[in-house]
């Protein structure tokens, strides 16, 4: 037991030191900006489905899902379905309990077909509609009503207004000691014109929404340890732990 404790303490100290390493931070920012110009987040699949994530965040989600052992994972923003398949597969590895609910404003027919024919589909349910539509939020609440441990991931439209509304609608579903994960907060830290064809950018993105949300909500706190150890992440200040 002492050896395990020693290992954890050494790790925590190394992460703390790394978190204050300004040179590494600058390199990471430079690398991250460059990676976006190559659409790096589109490079991966999980069990055959495209997943629009950086590998570091995939590992972080694995650690969270193992730790929390949720019986429901809700994600807004499905795209090709890779992240839903990821969560379902991790729940399966964790003992088979739990299910995944995905919401997307448009589930493209080829993606729907591929998700429905995937071996992990038995753990997945899908809702088509806007995540900030009250009737969709009500369906999600119904689905979650008998669940005891809930994790929520927001990865749909990345404007301030949209994410803030999602936070208002879905944060109350997150259970104590679980997480509310808000993706693409990194937009705030990126080059001014990184997304010329998107409605979001500096000053109007998931991070500005998280900061506004946290001004009036004491149930959540930013788990800085996650971003400190990942360094490369799309979710700085986006891993929110539910503390009460
Ligand atoms: C970044 S992708 C999701 C990526 C996916 N979570 C993954 O990791 O592979 C964003 C998705 O959000 C969806 N979306 C955009 N606006 C939305 C809205 N108002 N409600 C729900 N989904 C929305 C888009 O259709 C798109 O599929």
Which tens digits make up the pLDDT trace of 83-106?
999 999 999 999 989 999 999 999
Which of 157, 165, 185 most suits a substitution to test ligand 1, by most atoms within 8 Å of the C-beta?
157
Among all chains, which residue has been given the structure tokens 């700085």? 236
pTM equals 0.97
Residue 56 Cα to ligand 1 middle (Å)? 20
Q: Which atom of ligand 1 is nearest to the CA of 156?
A: 12
Ligand 1 touching residue 206 (CB < 6 A): no
Report pLDDT digits (tens) over 208-225.
Answer: 999 999 999 999 999 999
Q: Given this model, what pLDDT does residue 194 score? A: 83
N- to C-terminal Cα distance for the chain? 29
Candidate from 55, 104, 135 with most ligand 1 atoms within 8 A of CB, to mutate: 104
pLDDT in tens, 224-235: 999 999 999 999
Which ligand 1 atom is nearest residue 50's CA? Answer: 9
Q: Name every residue whose Cβ is closer than 8 Å to that of residue 49 and which is 6 or more positions away in sequence.
A: 80, 81, 82, 85, 114, 115, 118
- Asked if residue 77 has pLDDT above 80, the reply is yes
pLDDT band at 196 (very low <50, low <70, confident <90, very high): confident
The number of beta carbons lying within 10 Å of the beta carbon of residue 119 is 12
Reply yes or no on whether the pLDDT at 37 is more than 80. yes
Q: Ligand 1 centre from 79 Cα, in Å?
A: 5
C-alpha 233 to ligand 1 mean position (Å): 18
Per-residue pLDDT at 1: 73
> Ligand 1 within 6 A of 150 CB?
no
- CB of 21 within 6 A of ligand 1: the answer is no
pLDDT in tens, 126-174: 999 999 999 999 999 999 999 999 999 999 999 999 999 999 999 999 9
Q: Would the pLDDT of 203 be above 80?
A: yes
């Amino acid at each position: 037991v002492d050896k395990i404790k020693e290992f954890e303490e050494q790790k925590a100290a190394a992460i703390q030191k790394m978190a204050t390493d300004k040179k590494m931070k600058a390199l990471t920012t430079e690398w991250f900006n460059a990676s976006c110009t190559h659409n790096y987040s589109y490079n991966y699949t999980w069990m055959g489905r495209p997943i629009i994530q950086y590998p570091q965040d995939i590992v972080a989600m694995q650690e969270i899902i193992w730790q929390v052992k949720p019986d429901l994972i809700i994600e807004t923003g499905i795209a090709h379905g890779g992240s839903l398949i990821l969560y379902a597969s991790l729940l399966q590895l964790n003992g088979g309990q739990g299910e995944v609910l995905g919401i997307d404003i448009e589930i493209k027919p080829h993606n729907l077909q591929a998700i429905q024919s995937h071996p992990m589909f038995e753990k997945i349910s899908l809702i088509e509609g806007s995540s900030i539509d009250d009737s969709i939020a009500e369906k999600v609440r119904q689905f979650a009503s008998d669940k005891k441990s809930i994790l929520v991931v927001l990865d749909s439209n990345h404007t301030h207004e949209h994410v803030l509304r999602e936070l208002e609608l879905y944060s109350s579903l997150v259970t104590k000691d679980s997480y509310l994960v808000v993706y693409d907060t990194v937009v705030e830290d990126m080059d001014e014109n990184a997304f010329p064809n998107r409605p979001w950018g500096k000053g109007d993105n998931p991070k500005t929404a998280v900061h506004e949300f946290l001004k009036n909500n004491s149930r959540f706190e930013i788990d800085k340890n996650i971003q400190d150890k990942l360094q490369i992440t799309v979710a700085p200040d986006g891993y929110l732990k539910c503390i009460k």
